[in-house]
Amino acid sequence: MRVAAGSRRQRLLRKGLWFRLRKILLCVLGLYVAIPFLIKLCPGIQAKLIFLNFVRVPYFIDLKKPQDQGLNHTCNYYLQPEEDVTIGVWHTVPAVWWKDAQGKDQMWYEDALASSCPIILYLHGNAGTRGGDHRVELYKVLSSLGYHVVTFDYRGWGDSVGTPSERGMTYDALHVFDWIKARSGDNPVYIWGHSLGTGVATNLVRRLCERETPPDALILESPFTNIREEAKSHPFSVIYRYFPGFDWFFLDPITSSGIKFANDENVKHISCSLLILHAEDDPVVPFQLGRKLYNIAAPSRSFRDFKVQFIPFHSDLGYRHKYIYKSPELPRILREFLGKSEPGRQH
């Protein structure tokens, strides 16, 4: 009798465990099926997942104080591209001016743009702020090479005010570029875009070329061809990539939200030197998308009088999506592509 009672209890326990497990599996399956419909019905969700502007890392930093991030030769500005839009800007002067920059105000930094040093306008990717760790490390590298570095948070990122959109991000970049050109005299101005920022960069440079005021060069770090191909290749899409109607559920809402970031189309209308940097082990933007973009740009008639170069970084180096700044070869690559940057003196 005791053996029979024990067996019955075990059967009941197994039955209860299977019931709970089945309930969990059904909930997971229901959620898996519901998410595509939710995104289709609310395309704004897909836009938020692309921008990730609500993800502010590192947390608890004061963007008004770039010196807290080790940028003691950097000034924080605020510019207003449009009514009700304010964007936070960092301007880092060449490292050789570190001592001269101590305690200086915004006017000194603005005047410094007219010095003999070239300027890089850096357009960051999604998530985080202009104070992101890997971004700060790149500013330091570029500053040490003798460049001014001007960067900013698009509307809706960091402490910048406004609602994110592709049009708005591009307009913010245009406003900052024009602000730089109004102060830089004849100094070269280069555009550097990373990840999603490459989409902003090609939008910007295409517009500049169309109005016949191109930058002196365009640098794309970890670029994609267009946002649909990038979304389809992104690691987050793996669990849905073979879901019936993937394009209709996930990619069409991106387009309906007015988000294209069509690098592959833009490069056909760009007339300035182009440098593409991409790590083979990039887990976010697949290396083949950067190579594909180069293959589209290289034969384009718009580049017939300009350099177009693709620099791959072997997967053994471990630079992945955002650590190309660590490459000891980067100074040489930039020097050969852009020409030697002389730190020069403050005017």
The 10s digit of each residue's pLDDT in 82-136 is 999 999 999 999 999 999 999 999 999 999 999 889 999 999 999 999 999 999 9
**Quick one: tokens of 150?**
């001007």
55-338 is classed in which CATH architecture?
Answer: 3-Layer(aba) Sandwich (3.40)
Q: Which of 195, 271, 273, 341 is catalytic?
A: 195
pLDDT mean over 154-181:
97
> How is 22-51 classified by DSSP, letter by letter?
HHHHHHHHHHHHHHHHHHHH-HHHHHHHHH
Q: What percent of the chain has a predicted confidence (pLDDT) above 90?
A: 70
pLDDT mean over 281-290:
96
- CA-closest candidate to residue 302, choices 164, 175, 167, 209: 209
Distance separating alpha carbons of residues 108 and 290, to the nearest angstrom:
39
pLDDT tens sequence across 172-204: 999 999 999 999 999 999 999 999 999 999 999
pLDDT at residue 341, as a whole number: 44
State the Rg of the chain over Cα.
Answer: 24
Parse the chain into domains and list their residue ranges: 1-41, 55-338
**Quick one: tokens of 205?**
């440079």
**Quick one: tokens of 308?**
């177009």
pLDDT at residue 18, as a whole number: 75
pTM across the whole model: 0.89
- More confident of the two residues 157 and 30: 157
Sheet holding 74-82, edge to edge: 74-82, 85-92, 148-152, 119-123, 189-194, 217-221, 273-279, 308-313
Q: What percent of the chain has a predicted confidence (pLDDT) above 70?
A: 87
- CA-closest candidate to residue 201, choices 132, 270, 127, 282: 270
pLDDT at residue 234, as a whole number: 75
Distance of CA 286 to the CA centre of its chain: 14
pLDDT above 90 for 37: no
- More confident of the two residues 72 and 10: 72
Put residue 84 in one of left, alpha, beta given phi > 0 → left and psi -120 to 50 → alpha.
left
Active site residue 282: yes
